[in-house]
Amino acid sequence: MTALKIIGISLLIFLVIAAGIFAGVAAGYMGGLPKLSAYKDLGHDQTSKVYSADGTVIATFHAEQNREIIPLNEIPKNVQNAVIDMEDERFYKHHGVDLKAIIRAVYANLRSREVSEGASTITQQYVRNSLITPEVTMSRKIKEAALAYQLEQKYSKDKILEMYLNTIYFGQGCYGVQTASENFFHKKAKDLTLGESSLLAGLVGAPNLFSPYTNPDLTYKRRAEVLSRLLKNKHITKKEYNASLKEPINVFPINLSETPTIAPYFVEHVKLTLIDKYGANMVYRGGLRIHTTIDLRLQGIAEDAIWNTLNEPGDPSGALASIDPKTGYIKALVGGRDFNTNKFNLATQSKRCPGSSFKAVALVSALENNIPPSRSYDASSPRYIKLADETWRVENYEGRQFSGSMSIIEATVWSVNVVYAQLAMDVGAGKVAETAQKLGVTSNVPPYPAIAIGGLPEGVSPLEMASVYATLANDGVYMKPIAITKVTDAQGNLIEQAKIEGKAVISKNVARTANNILKQVISRGTGSRADIGRPAAGKTGTAEYKQDAWFVGHTPDLATAVWMGYPEGSITMDYVHGYPPYGGSLPAIMWQRFMSAALEGVPPSDFPGAENIPGGGEVMVSICTESGLLANPACPSTKDKWFTAGQEPKDYCNIHTQPAQTTQPPADQPHDGSVSVAGVEGQSLGSATSILTGQGLVVVFSKQTSETVPKDYVISQSPGAGSSAQPGSTVTLVVSDGPP
């Protein structure tokens, strides 16, 4: 470049910036020049972070720029001084544009015969990076200078420095000191050493040129230059200078991929959930702090259980969903083999035929409708069932033959289709569909006759099936599956807090009866490969054409659904690793491998009511605890009880009379068919639920920390004791979760 060109460029820069200063001062009087007030948002896109249950960052969401904003007092003074010394030594003396720096730059450029030195201040750089487009034109330089001057009139120097240090680019996709510090050194900015602070400051001018990942030799030289400038300006001592020169440069590898490497399908589920609530702009640019339920130990075990089993080319895929029954927290989620190639989540988005794993729903529906599990049906196959306009031909799976009659218990243990088809006729497909929705199925469940054996045209997801079995594990109390426990903004202000709310959807004794029957599936039936050496209940499931195979089961501590099949669609599976494609083979094995390891260290516990294992010739009835007779909706305290068939009470309680059965209700009862809500404050949740459901009321509850009320005891209720309520209406309980 000729000296004449250098002089021309330098003078032009000087004149343009000088004109910009004048423009900034005159901005309020001249409508054609930019005004700072026109730029509504001086904030910046902030990276949202996703945390596991133990506080580990497992993913980040961001748009074009990966940034996290922190206050100036969390940025080390060494970083502040180093950046100012390298980029704008007179930062605290000028008013947005530095005329002395411009003159110095013109002189330096003339001497070197090239444009070797610029004169942009930190304020101008901030304007250029944040408020205007970066093209090199005269109009842009005028805007830059005018806005820089106005910015300095509005904000303090420290505030401008804070905004600048939170927006500058350090390379490797990192914007701002905090993000660079966390990615380069795996530490917060406030913990940076002098050497690390100097390295980052040296990257500001040319992050790719001085990158420690591509040019480590230049990185050392650049860091030494920064340290030298700090020493010259008396920001550090000679001793600190010498020590930092010898400090090795240790940076961690940075994964530039947008794909989360930990629990990718769970992270995607969280992201889509948040986008539905708050929109993509907030998720990608809002700096959210997203706290989730995922247990990284269990997640690793789940992935190993699936992919170390289905580990050969051509194997079908697998999915797993695991829920804590007491809270609804999703603890592990496997949605596919490779998120990079297929982002479709088999655990949450895929709806597949559940096969016989859906018999648990039909079983519960039968128990709710006063059909005892000792009831027997003809087990011979095939069986022809007359429907309204056709005859339904039902066969046992693989044509298995059973002779004579068989109880519902044995039909569950051995997964006998013809018995469950007849059971569905007695219960009613509509009632089975209603039970499915109560237990946790959110997909559409049409009341088709084949519903009891899993004949669902639209299918269900593994997460839904895990939720159904979690309700059984939780004594009939449904907990909505939760993936996100808390969302805050970058400053910690609460945006969303998950509520642990339970709803008693079936009686605890129905749940306990179902659990005791489903335990036998594992102990002596089709699910024997799922035996984990502790009390567990579950059910195998295989679709009619072997395109889907399931094992779904639970302990009191964990409910898990495992599915196996081809993600491309309903493709018939052949033998896999020598195993037939049944729910009782590899799905049960994968379930067993996951549950055994997941519950390691958790003391074994049995389901409540385990001693009341139903057998042949038994019936379960609800009796009034005061009279011992059959309970009616007016009885304040009831319990379900099994009797030998024929020996159960025949008469209804006459102490508490149903309003519907008398023209004059008792004096303490309303006259409109409603009941007087029992007072349950101070009682255990189980006792309170039993009392209120015995009145024909529906119980929902939420948990709240308390230093005075013991854990799992009722703090308050709504409506209150003595209130009038119609049978079927809801009573909300606030239950203690113990001290904070």
Read off the DSSP letter of residue 552: E
Q: Which helix (H) or strand (E) holds 81?
A: helix 77-87
**Can you spell out the DSSP letters for 114-130?**
S-------HHHHHHHHH
Helix, strand, coil shares of the chain, percent, nearest 5, are: 35, 15, 45
* Cis peptide preceding 719, ω within 30 of 0: yes
The question of whether 718 is a catalytic residue gets the answer: no
Q: How far apart are CA 187 and CA 170, in angstroms?
A: 15
Q: How far apart are CA 481 and CA 439, in angstroms?
A: 12
According to DSSP, the β-strands at 714-718 and 477-479 are: unpaired
Read off the DSSP letter of residue 678: P
Read off the DSSP letter of residue 167: T
Question: Alpha helices of 382-445 — where are they, by DSSP H?
Answer: 408-413, 417-427, 429-439
Q: Which helix (H) or strand (E) holds 564?
A: strand 559-565
* Cis peptide preceding 260, ω within 30 of 0: no
**Strand ranges for 282-316 from DSSP E:** 289-292
**Can you spell out the DSSP letters for 602-667?**
SPP-PPTTTT----TTEEEEEEETTT-SB--TT-SSEEEEEEETT-S--SBPSSS--GGG-SS--T
Active-site annotation holder among 87, 152, 196, 618? 87
Per the CB < 8 A criterion, the answer to whether 59 and 260 are in contact is yes
Read off the DSSP letter of residue 315: P
Active-site annotation holder among 356, 357, 585, 676? 356
Q: Which helix (H) or strand (E) holds 145?
A: helix 138-154
Residues 6+ apart with CB under 8 A from 361: 432, 435, 436, 439, 441, 452, 468
Distances (CA, A) of 246 to 13, 194, 253, 733: 40, 11, 22, 64
The question of whether 162 is a catalytic residue gets the answer: no
Q: How far apart are CA 108 and CA 110, in angstroms?
A: 5
Annotated catalytic residues are: 87, 356
